[in-house]
Amino acid sequence: MRFISEFRRSELAEGLISQIHRKSRTPARFMEFCGGHTVTIFRYGIRQVLPQTIDMVSGPGCPICVTANADLDKAIALSRIPDIIITTFGDMLKVPGSRSSLQQVKADGAEVHTVYSTMDALKIAEDNPDKSVVFLGIGFETTAPTIAASILQAVEKGIGNYYVLSLHKLCPPVIRALLDSGEVKLDGLICPGHVSAIIGSHPWEFIARDYGIPCVVSGFEPLDILQCVDMLIAQVENGESRVEIAYRRGVRPEGNQQAMRLMEQVFEPSPAQWRGMGEIPDSGLKLREKYQRFDAELAFDIEPGPTSEPVGCICGDILRGVRTPADCRLFGKACIPENPIGPCMVSSEGSCSAYYLYGGSFEG
């Protein structure tokens, strides 16, 4: 198949669904790690067409959702410092921090710009030499190489007013933390496609080896997800656990070595705070010593004040896969996409947003 429309063909989907129903005998719970997969699953009603034996649960793979309020408060505090321009991807603007949001401080006069790439942020720095431009480095392994590239370009061009607030997160360590917590029992993991395009499939092998959980890397179209579920069921029924790739058009086992080198040249692993999960060792990225002059946390006096969580919001539990948006008493009432109370309702990849827009049934 070569075109996206071919990954949505109903007759192929029907064939796969029948195969899944024939094959699945053992009750199994699968987690889709990635928010992009959550959206596909809800948008195309995939949960509803699976057999009763298969329980699906959403995981913590939405980078905006997992950004801790304490980190978001740092970004908001930075935006209040005179002569700083904050640059960020659009979804971040509406996420409520402890007392405000980037959208609110922008309305109050702070300079907050939405950009589509790190190179746009660098251009703003070039065009505003009398200001300091901070890019909010929020994302997984997918975005970190592009941010590394922007820093190397700043070095090359001698741009001295560009900074990064590095709030990056690494995916394999959070899966390990989730499994070690024992809070959620899984029989299979749908591994993220975009992240795996960078890191490859090897970094997931510990899940199959150490925890005996089958893993399949999936793409983002409905047929990708169905194929992935079918492959997971085959492993479950055969009593196997290994890592497979159902997204060969995007992922190689060794990943994208060039992107990995770029990331490793500029960043090194560090502890990171995850919403709902606390600090997880080596699950974040900080700038290596050679590039520390670009580190916004070191360059500016940031005073974020005390952190608090939105009252009644259970995003943390949802991100750990122990509750669903339907368990939140604010869902669809006080909390809707136009008036989000927590990040899972803001982000286009957030579980609450996906449930709200496409949910219909809240089973599982």
Rounded CA-CA distance 79/99 in Å is 14
Size of the site for ligand SF4 (CB under 6 A): 14
Binding part of the chain for ligand SF4, among 123-131, 138-146, 270-278, 324-332 by CB under 6 A, reads 324-332
**CB 99, min distance to ligand SF4, A:** 17
Based on CB atoms, which residue is closest to ligand SF4, 139 or 325? 325
Q: Which is nearer to ligand SF4, 264 or 309 (CB)?
A: 309
| From 166-174, 225-233, 244-252, 326-334, span contacting ligand SF4 (CB under 6 A) | 326-334
Annotate 100-165 with DSSP letters as a single string: --HHHHHHTT-EEEE-SSHHHHHHHHHH-TTSEEEEEE---TTTHHHHHHHHHHHHHHT--SEEEE
Name 275's Cβ contacts closer than 8 Å, sequence gap at least 6: 65, 66, 67, 68, 69, 315, 316, 319, 343
CA atoms of 205 and 92, how far apart (whole Å): 32
Choice between 245 and 330, CB closer to ligand SF4: 330
Pick 154 or 314: Cβ nearer ligand SF4:
314
Find, among 50, 54, 59, 62, the residue nearest to 32 by Cα. 59
Beta strands in the chain (DSSP E): 28-34, 54-61, 84-88, 111-114, 132-137, 162-166, 188-191, 215-217, 243-245, 267-274, 278-287
- Determine if 328 is a binding residue for ligand SF4 (CB under 6 A): yes
For ligand SF4, which residue of 222, 330, 349, 354 counts as binding (CB under 6 A)? 330
Q: Is 66 an interacting residue with respect to ligand SF4 (CB under 6 A)?
A: no
Confirm if 306 and 73 have CB atoms less than 8 A apart.
no
Rounded Cα gap, residues 174 and 319, in angstroms: 11
Q: Which is nearer to ligand SF4, 188 or 342 (CB)?
A: 342
Residue closer to ligand SF4 (CB basis): 154 or 352: 352
Q: Does 342 bind ligand SF4 (CB under 6 A)?
A: yes
Pairing of strands 215-217, 243-245: parallel
User: For residues 59 and 279, what is the distance between their CA atoms, to the nearest angstrom?
Assistant: 17
Q: Does 68 bind ligand SF4 (CB under 6 A)?
A: no
Q: Rounded to an integer, what distance in angstroms lies between the CA atom of residue 170 and that of residue 89?
A: 19
**Residue 319 lies near ligand SF4 (rule: CB under 6 A):** no
Amino acid letter, residue 324: T
Question: How many angstroms separate the most distant Cα atoms in the chain?
Answer: 66
> Under the criterion CB under 6 A, does residue 345 sit at the interface with ligand SF4?
yes
Least separation in angstroms between residue 318's CB and ligand SF4 is: 6
User: x-or-dash pattern for ligand SF4, window 175-214, by CB under 6 A?
Assistant: ----------------------------------------
From 313, 347, 349, 354, residue interacting with ligand SF4 (rule: CB under 6 A): 313
Residue nearest to ligand SF4 (CB): 342
Binding residues vs ligand SF4 (CB under 6 A):
313-315, 318, 325, 328, 330-331, 335, 341-342, 344-345, 352
